[in-house]
Structure 1
Amino acid sequence: MAGFPGFSFDPKNRAHATRMTPTRRFALALSLLAVMTVIGAAGYMLIEHWPVLDAFYMSVITISTVGFGEVRPLSPAGRLFTIGLIVTGVGSAIYLFSVIGELIVEGRLREFLGKSAMNRKIHGLQGHVIVCGFGRFGGAVVEELNRTAVPMVVIEADPARQAELDVAGALHVTGSALEDSVLEEAGIASARAIIVATGSDADNVYITLSAREKNPKILIYARGDSDAGLRRLRLAGADQVVAAYQWAGMRIAASIIRPSVVDFLQLSVPGRESEVDLEEIRISRQSPAAGKTIAAVERANPRLRIVAMKRDDKPLEMIPGADTQIEADDLLVVIGESDSLKRLASL
């Protein structure tokens, strides 16, 4: 791929992504039939000078071959136009019926109707998260986002994984995220974040470039499996890059060197509803904590400590001073017992 030496784009992926499914053929056939109906009505209006209703009625009965008589006597030019409409329009109708038959025979009619409902839900999303790839890495991300009820859409190129996505209860689009149309179908323009988690560094770089082009403000989290991949993902515009195998190796090594620290970190994984939890809390203007000091908030909420604070665009401040005054819109990173965190968050 130009600009990123050492990466190659597999044309087989694009061929797979552009292969037309029965549901897409149904949409195409329906659109084609509608266009032919409009063309037929327009032809009768121009040639025979018929009213709109008569022209549309004649167009529909001609294309559907129901055998009704002519609405009005046709001129020679009108008869020639009707012959052409029968040849082209009836072919469009037959194509539509064959696609419907294919959907029924293959048991995909319910699937198509389900996808239509899912597409409506996806188009209604705002500020959601897109996950590209439902492998082991992407599946773990989806499980965590699902558990915290974060609105999301999964893009997965392998149709065989659709059953797993249905079980997970995730909105999804079957197709390759390498295709612009698939990203658009997943609502890239209105998404707040995208997680690029396919198994190919080259594909992840390409998807990152596409996502940044279509939504310059979106947050991009990308997976990389090599040092070169991580570097190129940053160059492509990813906000954060993750080397899954590297982090796993570091975690195992740390558990050998500092087992107590790792046990504590495991205990305080954010959002796990364990005895000790780690959470971020945005202070609203109505919160009783606004205007109070760090020490006052900690005294009012036993077994809780504020370990970091972020204000406006300033860097994250670790271990803020006890006399630091909390302001509205401050973001606090808090560790403590789950019940104490819930009480503070409820304020």
Structure 2
Amino acid sequence: MTLTRRFALALSLVALMTIVGAAGYILIEHMSVLDAFYMSVITISTVGFQEVKPLSPAGRLFTIGLIVTGVGSAVYLFTVIGELIVEGRLREFLGKSAMNRKIHDLKDHVIVCGYGRFGRAVVEELTRNTVPMVVIESDPAKQGDLDGLGALHVMGSALEDSALENAGISSARAIIVATGSDADNVYITLSAREKNTKILIYARGDSEAGLRRLKLAGADQVVAAYQWAGLRIAASILRPSVIDFLQLSVPGRESEVDLEEIRISRESPAAGKTIAAVERENPRLRIVAMKRNEERLEMIPAADTRIEANDLLVVIGETDSLKRLASA
């Protein structure tokens, strides 16, 4: 049994014995709840304070039994606490408890499985955009990096159901499966889909067979990391100006020109206006795509298309213009 589990067990035993002791004094000696808990605590802790009132023979026998069982539980708890302090793991234990509470309170967050080169790039970008997330990583050597980044994380294998559950799979909105093994990624994808049928699954694959199986397993989007890198290099040779433009307009980079998706609210001034009207009011901005409800993304929508509340617009333009439209 791990030290942290021993601590939880010892703490539970002491709490249980305190409650049992208080209940016994209430039933046998007819004490008030406060007096009963006082008697139970001073008996288990062996501090030797004066009794609330003289005990009856039955009360004394009960106290003897409480000392034998309760004091042993208290000594066990103090021993475990000593081990935690001696091994320097008390702060670590308390830190994990605080992290687990934060993860438990998360809703609509993103889970990243694997903190390798691919996963690290994803985590850094999500962190920069303050997206709530939890990282699952099996390599203990990477825990220091995750602590330094301030990322919520679960140390363990995403192949285990407990790791996914500890990361809040049931309340997450998306999961990124980014381990270095196609077989593991397929298994994690199946597990994630089983535990949350509505979650969006983005999975990494390194082979054609792996990409095909990830799609069959239920991944919403699969990415061939090395294939994309190769295509990007080839494109930079064939179409260097296009690549320069794409690098300039990477979403969220706070450059002069940005590319963003904007959800139109009911209160937005853009709601009810045509695309042409919105572009006239924002000369340095262009709407390049629009998605309405469950319809497919429409590229280069017609200028006379009327924008409705809850429409999703893909917009390119000056950063300040994009911020004005997004905050309206």
TM-score, normalised to structure 2's length? 0.86
Residue 289 of structure 1: SS of its match in structure 2? coil
- TM superposition shift of 1:49: 6.9
Name structure 1 gaps, 5 residues minimum.
Answer: 1-18
Q: Which residue of 2 aligns with 1:226?
A: 207
Show CA shifts across 1:43-94 (max 9, x none): 6667x47557466555444443445688624449x84x76665555444333
Q: Which is worse superposed, 135-144 or 217-226?
A: 217-226
Contact 2:111 2:176 in 1 (8 A): yes
Residue 284 of structure 1: SS of its match in structure 2? coil
2:236 maps to 1:250: no
Name structure 2 gaps, 5 residues minimum.
Answer: none
Q: Which residue of 2 aligns with 1:273?
A: 254
Q: Could you tell me which of 69, 72, 96 is aligned with 1:115?
A: 96
| 2: CA distance, partners of 1:120 / 1:102 | 24
Q: Which is worse superposed, 128-137 or 142-151?
A: 128-137
2:51 maps to 1:64: no
| 1: CA distance, partners of 2:125 / 2:285 | 24
Matches within 5 A, 1:158-237: 158-237=139-218
**Distance change (3 Å), C-alpha of 1:122 and 1:291:** same
Contact 1:41 1:52 in 2 (8 A): no
Contact 1:294 1:326 in 2 (8 A): yes
| 2: CA distance, partners of 1:193 / 1:277 | 24
The alignment covers a number of residue pairs equal to 325
Matches within 5 A, 1:1-347: 20=2, 22-41=3-22, 48=28, 51=31, 53=33, 56-57=37-38, 59-67=40-48, 72-75=55-58, 79=61, 86=67, 88-347=69-328
- The alignment-based identity, stated in percent, is 82
| 1: CA distance, partners of 2:23 / 2:104 | 33
| 1: CA distance, partners of 2:281 / 2:291 | 21
- TM superposition shift of 1:39: 4.3
- TM superposition shift of 1:217: 1.6
Residue 173 of structure 1: SS of its match in structure 2? strand
Contact 1:219 1:239 in 2 (8 A): yes
Show CA shifts across 1:107-141 (max 9, x none): 22223333333333323222221222222211111
Contact 2:29 2:56 in 1 (8 A): no
| 2: CA distance, partners of 1:259 / 1:41 | 78
**Distance change (3 Å), C-alpha of 1:239 and 1:257:** same
Show CA shifts across 1:239-283 (max 9, x none): 222221221122122222322222222221111112221111111
Residue 305 of structure 2: SS of its match in structure 1? coil
**Distance change (3 Å), C-alpha of 1:107 and 1:232:** same
CA RMSD of aligned residues (A): 2.7
**Distance change (3 Å), C-alpha of 1:288 and 1:57:** closer
**Distance change (3 Å), C-alpha of 1:40 and 1:159:** farther
TM-score, normalised to structure 1's length? 0.82
